[in-house]
Amino acid sequence: MKRVVVGMSGGVDSSVAAYLLQKQGYEVIGMFMKNWHDDSVTISKECPWLEDSNDAMIVAQNLGIPFQAIDLSKEYKERIVDYMFDEYSKGRTPNPDVLCNREIKFDIFLKAAMRLKADFIATGHYCRRGEEVLNGETRYKLLAGVDDNKDQSYFLCQLTQEQLSKALFPIGELTKPQVREIAKEMNLVTADKKDSQGLCFIGKVRLPEFLQQQLKPKKGKVIEVPADSPIYKEKALATDSTQSSLSEITEGFTYKESDGKVVGEHSGAHYFTIGQRKGLNIGGTPDPLFIIETDTGNNIIYTGQGENHPGLYRNGLFIENNDIHWVRPDMALEIGQSKTFDLRIRYRQPLEKATLYKEPNGMYVIFSQPQKAVAAGQFAVWYDGEELIGSGVIN
């Protein structure tokens, strides 16, 4: 009998994952990852991880499977939280959920499971694993979940073949309503539990407040750049010419104070991200202001009016060599090669066609349609049909 350790978060998805594996005849062990208990930066009076841990334990008792909690808070702080603060302080927008999967669930947790002589680990992600044998070698595929509304393959975009070979995703073939239905039939305490919002495994934490504990407020100017600024005209001319280079097409805009007028002040450029609309608290403009650039060096936020402001759109992006990751290394592009894939630059965004060009210094990604709010530090993820092929950190 194969042994599988299920990462039980205290939510309905991982509860049902454990039940389904048990039904399929696996020997199932439940494990709860405690990733955060630094009381000096607790935001709310609630203690969400305790509640989650108890829910996970009750489900394990209900299913009659062994259960244990593992404290990964030290690793979580080093690998996720410190990285996040560092990225935000540089004016980038990291994705803690992608990192949590790469660094915690499919690394430290996986190793802990292997110490329990497990054959596999399983999570409650809405995605699927496929495999095929090519030239005598098994290739593992990361496939989108069947439920389009819940597909979470994006968050697993940094997994390796080795990690995939040990991973099971029992609910990937189901929709969220079906998962809740199964939980109700089994009388699991988590059947009606709301989906967790907030940082991966930190529980009910709001990001701006979390950041304020490390990154001190620092007042600065908010500048509004008009939509008819000459910057956009020059850029349009540069990218329209047949001679324009990949780097010209993928470059963002560089602003200076004289490009617009001061319309207010903010509490710290590092709290904000490109495309953001809420949180500026500046009214009085015909259309709402959107953030088009944050300059953390000079502590300035550049904004534009309306969601069709040209400063919100980019024709492409660049990924440095060290930040390119192929879930399918056998499909990696060599220098000088290019290929068109379906791409998304954030979770839940509809897939869009884009062409990847591999050059000596990295990967240039050119969109077939200009894309909105391309944020440095986020992950660009590319698919071939329903298979996730690779990903990279936007530069």
State which amino acid sits at residue 34: K
- Confirm whether 47 is a catalytic residue: no
Distance CA 253, CA 259 (A): 11
d(CA 50, CA 267) in angstroms, rounded, equals: 33
Asked if residues 316 and 367 have their Cβ atoms less than 8 Å apart, the reply is yes
Helices (H) and strands (E) in the chain, counts: 11, 18
Q: Which of 47, 127, 157, 200 is catalytic?
A: 200
Max Cα-Cα span within the chain: 69
Give the torsion sign (CA, 252, 254, 255, 259).
Answer: negative
Distance CA 103, CA 96 (A): 10
Q: Which amino acid is located at 261 in the chain?
A: K
- Cα–Cα distance measured from residue 268 to residue 91, given in angstroms and rounded to the nearest whole number: 10
Contact indicator for 289, 303 with CB cutoff of 8 Å:
yes
**Gap between the Cα atoms of 175 and 146, Å rounded:** 7
Q: How many CB atoms lie within 10 A of CB 383?
A: 21
Is 200 annotated as catalytic? Answer: yes
Say which of 47, 100, 127, 157 is annotated catalytic.
100
Helix 12-23 to helix 48-63 angle, to the nearest 10 degrees?
Answer: 20
Active site residues: 100, 200
